[in-house]
Amino acid sequence: MDGPAGAAGTPAPGTPAPAPAIETTGLSKHFGKVPAVDGIDLHVPVGSVFGFLGPNGSGKTTTIRVLLGLLNPTAGTWMLFGRPMPQASMQILPKVGALIEGPAFYPWLSGAQNLARFDAAGPDGDRPTRRARIDLALARVGLTAAAGKKYKAYSLGMRQRLGLASALLRPRELLVLDEPTNGMDPQGTREIRHLIQELAGDGTTVFLSSHLLSEVEQVCTHVAVMSLGKILAQSTIAELQATGARRLAVETVQVSVAATVLERLGLTDLTIEGDAISARLDGQAPEDCCRALVDAGVGVRSLTTVRPTLEDTFVALTGEGFDVAR
Amino acid sequence: MWRAELISQFRRRRVKALLLVLAAVPALLAVLVYLSGGPSNGQGPTFLDEVTRNGVFAALAGLTVTVPFFLPLTVAVVAGDSIAGEASLGTLRYLLVRPAGRSRLLLIKAVTIGAYCLAAALAVAAGGLIAGVILFPVGRVTTLSATTLSLGAGIGRTLLAALVVGASLFGMAAIGLFISTLTDVPVGAMAATVGLAVLSAVLGGVSQVQAIHPWLFTRGWFAFGDLLRDPVQWTAISHDLALQVAYMAVFGAAAWARFTTKDVLA
């Protein structure tokens, strides 16, 4: 196998593209008759920061549990770094750091003792370097001062940080982070975002499950949207946003005239707010709209096109916003 | 991980408290005998009458008193908690993705429980020995066969008796481990394990089901007394230990089959 954090970097020119960090084929997990995950094909390229989005109850955490070998899939197969799972678990999982459904540690042990406990529990937990690795991981998440404190005395945000420290204890090629900023204050959220960007910069693939769309928008290169156990969209973040409906935003004092012109051009979903008017472009070229407005004598102060935010796209795709899917 | 698991478990306040209570039981017994003064009228538990003549017997009396209930209760707590406790803390999922390996984790848990069984019985013996030596005269140990052993040999037999008692709890520990793989609620696993021990003891007293008596895991819990005969009577002890091995094989295999295939949702 590759050395620590080896394969995750950008490949040298001329070498074949590395196997995806995560690849699933028709992966399904049913609980009784309910399909929690329903035949998904995920493709997470090496080196990407992959945002895994979906409303609560859409099957994100179940997917993560299957990927990490905690649940047996009902159907389908999956591979991590090109190795079939779960057969290759003992070789692949040591390279995977995970935060699954919040942190979990032994309340009667201190933060540092907990990290040592988990480090000792599996392969690659080199003992001579353990102390130093624990100190470094705690420093990276800002927990050095609380290292000797019992876990039960930790606040929610500190627990989350310790969970991240555990995921960073050894060099990783893949980080699977399920809602990593849960329970953190804005400062902590920003720190985690920087940490993720730093790790991604080192070539670590990050699989980030979240419902905080702005968070995903800021750090992710790729995104998949899941709802009711199915993947609704999967692409780079730029491609996904390009599929959403672009809007035209015009600023003018003659809003009513402008509205008539735009409606005549076939633009829909008009909204007027003071001197601003906005409408769905629906394939119309913005320059044609501009010309039509000027020809109609509308004094155009500004005219821009607005890309949909990830949230707009997300709501358009899932149709249900943030409500619990089931 | 072997060392880490043992350290982690024995560092728990709960485990320390259990061992302390177990050591306190024979000590308390010795103090009561000391305060009541003089040998009793022979109605107490086996070995208790001997305590005033020889402090070493406080350890054996302690084993006799704790083996029907106290010892199995604490073993049920530790065994029932083993997997279900990790599940309820959520640490099970992190151990498995570490990856600790399911078979390996189960084996480590089993060995830890076994170590606890032996430590628990030794704690009883140690508590009794210490209190007995402080409160009563010690000297050559009179066996149940009316011969005497040197003090050293007597203490050796006593510690051996503790180990036999610990080992005779292995079958129940295996049942507890198996039940612990079935649930994410540790208290449920503990209660179910204690319940089965009580059931086994009750059945052992019902003559209508005599046919199953040789197969009850509680049946040989008092066999350790045969170590205090001269020469030592091994028949009952070896029968009991063989039965414990059989229980470990059956319930260990069941626990393995369950744990290596189970969906971990906790």
Say if residues A6 and A173 touch (Cβ distance below 8 Å): yes
Can you tell me whether residue B13 is helix, strand or coil?
helix
The least confident of A37-46, A242-251, A290-299, B240-249 is: A242-251
Identify all chain A residues contacting B12, using CB atoms and an 8 Å cutoff: 108
Predicted pLDDT at A15: 64
- Of residues B41 and A301, which shows the higher confidence score? A301
Helices (H), chain A: 60-67, 89-92, 111-120, 130-140, 156-167, 186-201, 213-219, 237-243, 255-264, 286-295, 310-318
Asked if A37 and A211 count as a contact pair (C-beta separation under 8 A), the reply is no
Q: What span, in angstroms and rounded, lies between the C-alpha atoms of B124 and B93?
A: 35
When pLDDT is averaged across residues A49-73 and rounded to a whole number, the result is 92
| Interval A279-296 mean pLDDT | 84
pLDDT at A4: 40
Q: Do the domain assignments include residue B171?
A: yes
**Number of domains observed in the structure of chain B:** 1
- pLDDT at residue A1, rounded to an integer: 37
- Evaluate whether residue B264 is within a structural domain: no
Span B67-74, average pLDDT: 94
pLDDT at A2 over 60: no
Q: What are the two backbone dihedrals, phi and then psi, of residue A212, each rounded to the nearest 5 degrees?
A: -85, 95
Both tokens of residue A325? Answer: 């899917």
pLDDT of A3 above 50: no
Query: Could you give all domains of chain A from N- to C-terminal order, each with its CATH number?
Result: 22-242 (3.40.50.300), 245-307 (3.30.70.980)
Residue of A192, A183, A207 whose CA lies nearest to A65: A207
Q: How far is A59 from chain B (nearest CA, A)?
A: 13
Residues of chain A positioned with their CB less than 8 A from the CB of B94: 98, 100, 104, 118, 166
Q: Please give the angle made by the CA atoms of A149, A153 and A157, to the nearest 5 degrees.
A: 100
Pairwise CA distance, residues A296 & A258, whole Å: 8
How many angstroms separate the CA of residue B253 from the nearest CA in chain A?
20
Regarding predicted confidence, which is higher, A151 or A15? A151
Query: Which pLDDT score, from 0 to 100, does residue A14 have?
Result: 58
pLDDT digits (tens, 9 = 90+) for A224-252: 999 889 998 898 988 877 766 778 888 98
Check whether B42 has a pLDDT greater than 60.
no
Domain of residue B193: give its range.
2-259
- Is B265 inside a domain boundary? no
CB contact under 8 A, B3 and A120: yes
C-alpha A9/C-alpha A1 separation (Å) is 15
Report yes or no on B91 lying in a domain: yes
Residue B266 counted as domain residue: no
CB contact under 8 A, A89 and B12: no
A94/B98 touch (CB, cutoff 8 Å), yes or no = yes
A106 interaction partners in chain B (CB closer than 8 Å): 8, 89, 91
DSSP H helices, chain B, are 2-10, 13-36, 57-66, 70-89, 91-97, 102-135, 151-168, 170-182, 186-204, 235-259
In this predicted structure, the answer to whether residue B252 has a pLDDT above a threshold of 80 is yes
pLDDT at residue A286 above 70?
A: yes
pLDDT, tens only, B127-161: 999 999 999 999 898 888 889 999 999 999 999 99
Q: What average pLDDT does the segment B65-89 reach?
A: 95
Is it the case that residue B110 has pLDDT exceeding 60? Answer: yes
Domain assignment of residue B13, yes or no: yes
B173-221 pLDDT tens trace: 999 999 999 999 999 999 999 999 999 999 999 999 999 999 999 999 9
To the nearest whole percent, how much of chain A has pLDDT over 70?
A: 92
Quote the pLDDT of residue A6: 39
Residue with tokens 């409606």: A263
Contact residues, chain B, for A122 at CB < 8 Å: 1, 95, 98-101
User: Which residue has tokens 């059989």?
Assistant: B246
**Is the per-residue pLDDT at B53 higher than 80?**
yes
**Sorting pLDDT into bands at 50, 70 and 90, what band is A290?**
confident
Tell me what the mean pLDDT of segment A50-79 comes to.
93
Beta bridge partners of A24: A78
pLDDT greater than 90 at residue A55: no
pLDDT recorded at residue B40? 56
Average pLDDT, chain A: 86
Closest CA–CA distance from residue B117 to any residue of chain A (Å): 22
| pLDDT for the residue numbered A5 | 40
Residues B157, B162, B166: CA angle, nearest 5 degrees = 145
Q: What is the mean pLDDT of residues A83-112?
A: 93
Structure tokens, B58: 């406080």
pLDDT-based confidence at residue A127 (cuts at 50, 70, 90): confident
Q: Mean per-residue pLDDT for B18-41? A: 85
Quick one: pLDDT at residue B44? Answer: 61
Which residues of chain B make contact with A118, given a CB cutoff of 8 A?
Answer: 94-95, 98
